[in-house]
């Protein structure tokens, strides 16, 4: 079965960090970080519904203006997430322009900014083009633990790591998908009906194996009505595709608390996008700059048990040496020796 998302870095590994998360079956996308996003065509920016910013250093937030320019007058709304002070930062960005005509545009744009505090509390404000992007109240933002956003098919979790300032590390989690094996259904002489929906729901919500499912359907032989248990039907006719978990981790120090936070947020992640800014020979410099070395990134990937790792946010000082950074991440990630 097809997976829900397609994950693409916005730029090459020396460019500004960013991850574009495209829905395979919808004209819709999520974006992680908002630095230089000029590599994304306007039609790709128009698909964005939610943008998750790690922190407001320029290489992660300077693309706000470009995004605004593309969507203004063409898109109805966009939700932005960030860390402490984020709502005020969005407000200040918007206050830097003159808005005497935007209220006449046919399409109103509402920017919905949500921030997570280090105490776990939320703050939210909306900014409408109809009212010159003045800050307005628009309901609470109440994160459920580290879950910042949740829908039927996926959720996004975020936790703070230390980058001298609090910086959000994100987990993007597809939920498990359940599909009826139609060939198997036919082979068993069963017909489709509302009971299939009931069975799928029971499996996805973890109902006990002995939960009865009343199977009713009609075919050329007439009306069928029988009852079987979830534990019996599930292995016979359902294919369960486990959801993937993907990490987006950038801008942090290599400290024990940071590594522990990531191990909790991203345990067993299938895919990890992680900054690998410096070579380990420059680890003192990396510590001064509050960034990871490639080796440290690889060790984090190994600690969380990542199935695959994609390094990015390379320092320009290594131009032409990307193979060394990649090799250092990979050898630390696949190294089976204890630290
Ligand atoms: Zn950065
Ligand atoms: Zn930074």
If you measure from the C-alpha of residue 317 to the centroid of ligand 1, how many angstroms do you get, rounded to a whole number? 14
CA 135 to ligand 2 centroid distance, Å: 26
* CA of 326 relative to ligand 2 center, distance in Å: 21
Q: Residue 4: pLDDT band by 50, 70, 90 thresholds?
A: confident
Q: Which ligand is nearest to the CA of 60?
A: 1
Q: Does 1 score more than 70 pLDDT?
A: no
* pLDDT of res. 195: 94
CA separation, residue 67 to residues 47, 72, 99, 110, 267 (Å)? 11, 8, 16, 13, 33
Model confidence at 338: pLDDT above 80: no
Tokens 């939610």 found at: 50
Structure tokens at 173: 């989690």
pLDDT for the residue numbered 287: 97
Residues 6 or more apart whose CB falls under 8 angstroms from that of 268 comprise 245, 304, 305, 307
Closest C-alpha to 37, from 68, 6, 74: 68
Tell me what pLDDT residue 37 has: 98
Instruction: Find the 71 Cα to ligand 1 centroid distance in Å.
Output: 25
* Ligand with smallest separation from the Cα of 164: 2
Q: How many CA atoms lie within 13 A of 292 on its CB side?
A: 30
Look over the chain and give the mean of its residue pLDDT values, rounded to a whole number.
95
Does the pLDDT of residue 274 top 60, yes or no? yes
Q: What is the pLDDT of residues 53-79, one digit of tens each?
A: 999 999 999 999 999 999 999 999 999
CA of residue 275 relative to chain centroid, distance: 16
Q: Is the predicted pLDDT of residue 20 greater than 70, yes or no? A: yes
Using the predicted structure, report yes or no on whether residue 316 has a pLDDT greater than 70.
yes
Q: What spacing in Å lies between the alpha carbon of 57 and ligand 1's midpoint?
A: 7
Question: Quick one: pLDDT band at residue 129, thresholds 50, 70, 90?
Answer: very high
Return the pLDDT at 204: 82
Closest CA to 324 of 284, 273, 276, 254: 276
Q: What is the pLDDT of residue 152?
A: 87
Model pLDDT, residue 240: 85
- C-alpha 68 to ligand 2 mean position (Å): 22
Statement: residue 336 has pLDDT above 80: no
Residue 250 CA, ligand 2 centroid: distance in Å: 8
What is the tens place of the pLDDT at every residue in 238-262?
998 888 999 999 999 999 999 999 9
pLDDT band for position 132 (cuts 50, 70, 90): very high
Q: Rounded mean pLDDT of 100-115? A: 95
The percent of residues above 90 in pLDDT, for the chain, comes to 89
pLDDT tens digits, 77-97: 999 999 999 999 999 999 999
Q: How far is the CA of 36 from the centre of ligand 2 (A)?
A: 14
323 CA from centroid of ligand 1 (Å): 20
Grade residue 148 by pLDDT with cuts at 50, 70 and 90. very high
Percent of the chain with pLDDT over 70: 98
């Amino acid at each position: 079965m097809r997976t829900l998302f397609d994950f693409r870095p916005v730029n090459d590994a020396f460019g500004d960090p960013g991850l574009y998360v495209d829905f395979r079956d919808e004209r819709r996308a999520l974006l992680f970080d908002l630095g230089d996003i000029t590599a994304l065509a306007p039609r790709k920016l128009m698909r964005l519904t939610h943008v998750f910013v790690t922190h407001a250093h320029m290489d992660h937030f300077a693309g706000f203006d470009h995004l605004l320019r593309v969507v203004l007058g063409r898109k109805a709304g966009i939700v932005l997430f960030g860390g402490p002070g984020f709502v005020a930062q969005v407000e200040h960005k918007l206050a830097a322009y003159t808005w005497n005509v935007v209220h006449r545009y046919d399409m109103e744009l509402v920017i919905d900014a949500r921030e997570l505090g280090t105490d776990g509390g939320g703050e939210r404000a909306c900014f409408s083009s109809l009212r010159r992007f003045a800050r307005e109240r628009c309901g609470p933002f109440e994160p459920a633990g580290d879950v910042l956003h949740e829908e039927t098919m996926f959720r996004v979790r975020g936790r703070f790591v230390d980058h001298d300032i609090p910086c959000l590390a994100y987990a993007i989690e597809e939920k498990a998908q359940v599909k009826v094996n139609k060939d198997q259904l036919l082979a068993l002489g069963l017909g489709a009906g509302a009971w299939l929906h009931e069975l799928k729901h029971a499996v996805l919500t973890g109902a006990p194996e002995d939960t009865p499912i009343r199977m009713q359907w009609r075919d050329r032989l007439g009306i069928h009505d029988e009852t079987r248990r979830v534990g019996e039907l599930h292995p016979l006719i359902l294919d369960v595709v486990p959801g993937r978990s993907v990490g987006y981790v950038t801008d942090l120090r290599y400290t024990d608390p940071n590594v522990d936070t990531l191990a909790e947020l991203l345990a067993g992640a299938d895919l990890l996008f992680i900054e690998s800014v410096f070579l380990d020979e420059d680890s003192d410099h990396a510590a001064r700059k509050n960034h990871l070395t490639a080796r440290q990134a690889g060790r984090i990937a190994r600690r969380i048990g990542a199935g695959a790792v994609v390094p990015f946010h390379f320092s320009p000082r290594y131009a032409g040496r990307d193979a060394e950074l990649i090799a250092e991440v990979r050898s630390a990630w696949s190294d089976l020796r204890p630290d």
